[in-house]
Structure 1
Amino acid sequence: MTVVDLGNGSQVLHTPRFISYQDSCQFFDYLNQNIPWTRPTIRVFAKSHVQPRDTCYVAIEGLTQLVYSGYQPHAYTWNDFSPLKDILDLVLKAIPGSSFNSLLLNRYKGGNDYVGWHADDEKLYGQTPQIASVSFGGERDFLLKKKPSKVVQYEPARNNEGGPPNKRSKKVNHGDQHSFLLKHGSLLVMSGFTQRDWVHSVPKRVKADSVRINLTFRLIL
């Protein structure tokens, strides 16, 4: 397992070979064939779009309902797909002290399927969510970049000699960026203030012609 300290309380753990190749193939086949995948319509910047990947949502009963980009997925239970509980057990053993009660699954059918820059910073996950991502199938790049920060600048007052300076805010982009190749059977964990200070994406890749399935385990408070 590789530990990447992003600074200011943000951390990423990466294990390229978390689940054996043979077991990963069995999990992939099951998920690809048995999960009730859907490709919903979501709203981004006040416009409706078909989400560029398939999805499914699993959670224990009684949790706050998940809503993202104007879409509220149906919540299946862990008992509906028993192999998911086996994968969850492996994740819990690999991350001592962790706890997860929900799971968002995504299926990328090829290189044109992707997820844009975003942070999983919904309030239902709390201020320092831990998100564990397990990947099966085709390899894809996972990118992380630091959120731009606001810098307050002061300028001399105009037409008001001797008055207070004018204040304005300016966003400053940071050069900090990290890339991880998520392989078949890999594990990547984001923790601490990663969702507060960073955004992540899985960009389009022309040569990525195989199916990738990704499971992101989360804790809803």
Structure 2
Amino acid sequence: MASLLRLFGSNPKTDSGEAQGSKPEPRREVLNLGGGSEVLHIPRFVEREKAWEWFELLDKGIPWTRPTIRVFGRSALQPRETCYVADQGLTDLKYSGHQPHAHTWDEFPVLKNILKAVHDALPGSNFNSLLLNRYNAGSDYVSWHADDEPLYGPTPEIASVTFGCERDFLLRKKPAKSQAASGSREAARKRPKVSSTPQQHSFLLKHGSLLVMRGYTQRDWQHSLPKRAKAQSPRINLTFRRVLA
């Protein structure tokens, strides 16, 4: 489970109510993964009522599709619905043999409002693309992967906002490359045995939460959203990214 190494609280004056007319800053949890990788988690990024308002607009107003993708050489329906939004002129997004149509921000005013909230929470960020996913029930999922496409650069910042049903989000260290690649099988057998269980962390992403992956997280780590039989209602997830060219 996730071991939170640093907790950034809100301003003491704001917490004590001394600053009139202002609200407490949301609690920020930072997990240092080591090696220049970091995860920021804001459990209550969006107030509950506003989060439900945005959920309804997204659920009814986004042209959701469930595309056919290729996994391990086979074609299959993607196990979640999706939509892609991006600035004009950016490099096309392609994954698993699928190239989604890039909608414009102006088609969905609610997305521009959410983007502004994310930029306000993450000073210095400048996202220009967004991949939306809708998980209709616990049978919808995303398998282990890393968002390490070259169009995002070596150290992408990816901000993930969750609306609706809470789901488990897992992180694991990428498996080491084959130990036998540089020597014979005999030499490999003589090497000390190393545990095959990767370092792993877990977050329960709740309605209105924000999770940000930074630094070398995509290079060194993988993430997934596993199936959960008890998840009976939809979850909508927005992952904001910056395409470099």
TM-score > 0.5 by shorter chain = yes
Match of 1:184 in 2: 207
Match of 1:101 among 128, 131, 141: 128
Indicate how the Cα distance of structure 1 residues 97 and 43 shifts in structure 2: closer, same or farther if over 3 A, else same.
same
> What runs of 5+ residues in structure 1 fail to find an aligned partner?
159-164
Tell me whether 173-182 or 72-81 shows the greater mean CA deviation. 173-182
Between structures 1 and 2, the one with greater strand share: 1
Match of 1:25 among 52, 55, 79: 52
Q: Between the two proteins, what is the percent identity of the paired residues? A: 62
> What runs of 5+ residues in structure 2 fail to find an aligned partner?
1-27
Is the CA contact (8 Å cut-off) linking 1:151 and 1:172 kept in structure 2?
Answer: no
SS in 2 for 1:210: coil
Match of 1:199 in 2: 222
Match of 2:14 in 1: none
Is the CA contact (8 Å cut-off) linking 2:175 and 2:198 kept in structure 1?
Answer: no
2:194 and 2:115 map into 1 onto residues whose CA distance is 39
1:137 and 1:157 map into 2 onto residues whose CA distance is 50
SS in 2 for 1:149: coil
Shift of 1:151: 6.2
Give the 4+ runs in structure 1 shifted more than 2 A.
150-158, 165-175
Letter in 1 for 2:159: A
SS in 2 for 1:105: strand
- Root mean square deviation of aligned Cα: 2.3
Shift of 1:145: 0.3
Match of 2:138 in 1: 111
After superposition, the C-alpha distances for 1:7-50 in whole angstroms (9 at most, x for unaligned) are 00000000110000000000000000010000000001110010
Match of 2:151 in 1: 124
Match of 1:90 among 117, 122, 140: 117
Between structures 1 and 2, the one with greater helix share: 2
- Greater RCO, CA 8 A, separation 6+: 1
Alignment length (residue pairs) = 215
TM value normalised by structure 1: 0.91
Letter in 2 for 1:140: R
After superposition, the C-alpha distances for 1:92-129 in whole angstroms (9 at most, x for unaligned) are 11111111000000000000000000000000000001
Match of 1:147 among 153, 169, 174: 174
SS in 1 for 2:98: coil
1:157 and 1:125 map into 2 onto residues whose CA distance is 37
Indicate how the Cα distance of structure 1 residues 149 and 29 shifts in structure 2: closer, same or farther if over 3 A, else same.
same
2:132 and 2:66 map into 1 onto residues whose CA distance is 12
Indicate how the Cα distance of structure 1 residues 128 and 171 shifts in structure 2: closer, same or farther if over 3 A, else same.
farther
Shift of 1:149: 1.5
Indicate how the Cα distance of structure 1 residues 172 and 41 shifts in structure 2: closer, same or farther if over 3 A, else same.
farther
